[in-house]
Amino acid sequence: MTSSIKISPSILSADILQLGEEVTSVVQAGADWIHIDVMDGGYVPNITYGPNLVAALRQVTDLPLDVHLMIAPAQPHLKAFAEAGASIITIHPDADIHTHRLICEIKSYGVKAGIALNPGVPVASIEPLLPFIDLILIMTVNPGFGGQSYISEMTNKIRQVRQLIDQSGREIELEVDGGINAETAKRAMEAGATALVAGAAIFTVKDNNYAAAIAQLRGEKR
């Protein structure tokens, strides 16, 4: 199981002045996806990037661009992110009223649709959406900033969502985001995660040894 885990480095902790090079480096270091955290200063207390950054990074790599929208409302911007080259668009169900409609819209662009659950959002709220989604993103911190600590109680939530996915019989990625390091990665994987987001654990590693950092997250010895 550990060898097939997907690693999605979050560029939030990368050197913003060298973003193209940073992405190229993590691609060479073995990243599976590139995680792009879009924040609007309203839904979360921080502001980051828009579709133009997604389009720019689309020129740098062929890897799936894993776009995490922390914006409310998200609906007016879905098309722009899809056209910019997003491969996965993940929305927070509490950011818009008609979540199912947004999922259908994302899929109509040929983009995979994900649902993100903040620490305070119950697991049961995703149940009706299971037949429609490609990915569930469990937040193991409150969204807004990189470098926060993994909320331990969320491991059980990952386990519960794993069960729901297994019962659904569908292939839905189970991605975990926030405070992932070698130790918490292990807990998330054991609970059933198939993809891990990591910002600080990759981009702030000693000597910029991204390959070693990614291997460590996968549980591989280096």
- 42 or 131, CB closer to ligand DX5? 42
Does 177 engage in binding with Zn ion (CB under 5 A)? yes
What's the closest the beta carbon of residue 59 comes to ligand DX5, in angstroms?
A: 22
For tokens 């939030």, the residue is 12
Min. distance of Cβ 49 from ligand DX5 in angstroms? Answer: 12
Rounded least distance, CB 197 to Zn ion, Å: 5
| Contacting range for Zn ion; rule: CB under 5 A; set: 26-34, 35-43, 71-79, 168-176 | 35-43
Cα 210 from Cα 159, distance rounded (Å): 28
Residues catalogued as catalytic: 37, 177
Counting beta carbons within 10 angstroms of the beta carbon of residue 17, is it exposed (0 to 12), middle (13 to 18) or buried (19 or more)? exposed
Residues forming contacts to ligand DX5 in the complex (CB under 6 A) are 10, 12-13, 35, 37, 68, 141, 143-144, 146-148, 177-180, 197-201
Contacting residue, 5, 32, 36, 37, with Zn ion by CB under 5 A: 37
Smaller CB separation from ligand DX5, 143 or 167? 143
Q: CA 111: distance to chain centroid?
A: 15
Helix (H/G/I), strand (E/B), else coil: 26: helix
Tokens of 109: 């662009």
| Residue number, 67 or 102, with CB nearest to ligand DX5 | 67
**For residues 11 and 36, what is the distance between their CA atoms, to the nearest angstrom?**
6
Residue number with CB closer to ligand DX5 (165 or 197): 197
SS3 70: strand
Touching Zn ion, residues 48-77 (CB under 5 A) = 68
114 forms beta bridges with 90, 135
Strand partners for 67: 36, 89
DSSP state of 191: T
The number of residues making up the chain comes to: 222
- Span interacting with Zn ion, options 18-26, 32-40, 54-62, 154-162, rule CB under 5 A: 32-40
* Residues in contact with Zn ion by the rule CB under 5 A: 37, 68, 177
